Amino acid sequence: MQLYFDLNAGSLVVGPLNNTAVAKLAFKRGDSQTISLQFCRGGSVVDLDDTASTGIFGIKVKGDYNGGYIVSDLAWEKAGAGASAVYTFSPSFNTTELNTLIDNGGHPLASVTCMGEIQVRSTAGLITSSNTWDAIILDDVIKGDEGIPTDAEPVYPSPVDILTVSLTGSIALVVGQQDYTADLTALGLSRSPRALLTLSLPTDADDIRAHRNKTATTATSLAIHLSAAPESSESGGSIDYLLIP
């Protein structure tokens, strides 16, 4: 499917030389749709001023503006530049939300009319949205090979899983000491992370990195046991860790 977004009109249009707004688009349930989007201005195909902008394609139940998506693609793929720039969405129309809507509690509908929009977000956070158009989604006739439906609504992490602090840290080695701990409370993790260790040693130190060192983690702490205690030549070294939630 080829679409054109007129940047002057702020809407999907029939073509670069025809700025009649597109009021409705038709799709088929179960399909994997490829949507090629180009931008135009003043009758010519153009690229976005901010070529690193991101885009979202979303369809919701008509009138349910605060509801979740029934079909979506939250990131386009760009190819080409200038007048040859094409931004491609690949939304799936085999989603649990769309199937539930068309199945209608065991009384299947031949089609449903939803609402759709394309949004462009610049790297500065400025948003440009298309007109809202009717998305007419027809039930599919040939069934059985659509595969497992996906969820149209993305799974957002809980606030405690959105990390705003570093997941790396370092603990100084102490001569003769085999056990070390790190307090992870400030990270606000909701579960125990996996820990990867690297021993940073002075260049003239004996290499203890080959030993079988052990870690144990909780959401609030990291415990490390070195199978060999650092010697005096390893003073000044450190245990560097990376946490994977």
- Tell me the pLDDT of the chain (245 aa) as tens digits: 999 999 999 999 999 999 999 999 999 998 888 999 999 999 999 999 998 899 999 999 999 999 999 999 999 999 999 999 999 999 999 999 999 999 999 999 999 999 999 999 998 888 999 999 999 999 988 876 666 677 777 665 555 555 555 588 889 888 888 899 999 988 888 778 888 887 777 765 555 444 557 788 898 999 988 877 777 777 778 888 888 87
166 and 102 together in one domain: no
Quick one: pLDDT at residue 59? 97
Tell me how far apart the alpha carbons of residues 4 and 227 are, in angstroms, rounded to a whole number. 64
164 and 133 together in one domain: no
Quick one: pLDDT at residue 225? 86
Tell me how far apart the alpha carbons of residues 175 and 226 are, in angstroms, rounded to a whole number. 12
Quick one: pLDDT at residue 134? 97
The answer to whether residue 172 sits within a structural domain is yes
95 and 202 together in one domain: no
Quick one: pLDDT at residue 230? 78
Number of domains in the chain: 2
129 and 176 together in one domain: no
Tell me how far apart the alpha carbons of residues 94 and 134 are, in angstroms, rounded to a whole number. 19
Residues spanned by the domain of 215: 159-244
219 and 109 together in one domain: no
Quick one: pLDDT at residue 158? 56
The answer to whether residue 165 sits within a structural domain is yes
126 and 65 together in one domain: yes
Quick one: pLDDT at residue 245? 75
**Which positions ≥6 away from 10 have C-beta within 8 Å?**
128, 129, 130, 131
Tell me how far apart the alpha carbons of residues 60 and 49 are, in angstroms, rounded to a whole number. 29
Phi/psi class of residue 135: alpha, beta or left (left: φ > 0; alpha: ψ in -120 to 50)? Answer: beta
170 and 129 together in one domain: no
Closest of 184, 188, 185 to residue 163, by C-alpha:
188
Rounded to whole angstroms, the maximal C-alpha distance in the chain is 79
9 and 124 together in one domain: yes
The answer to whether the beta carbons of residues 208 and 228 sit under 8 Å apart is: yes
| Residue 238 tokens, joined | 């450190």
> Phi and psi dihedrals of 160, rounded to 5?
-75, -15
Quick one: pLDDT at residue 210? 46
115 and 178 together in one domain: no
CA Rg value for the chain: 27
7 and 78 together in one domain: yes
8 and 121 together in one domain: yes
The answer to whether residue 146 sits within a structural domain is no
> How many CB atoms neighbour CB 54 within 10 A?
15
195 and 234 together in one domain: yes
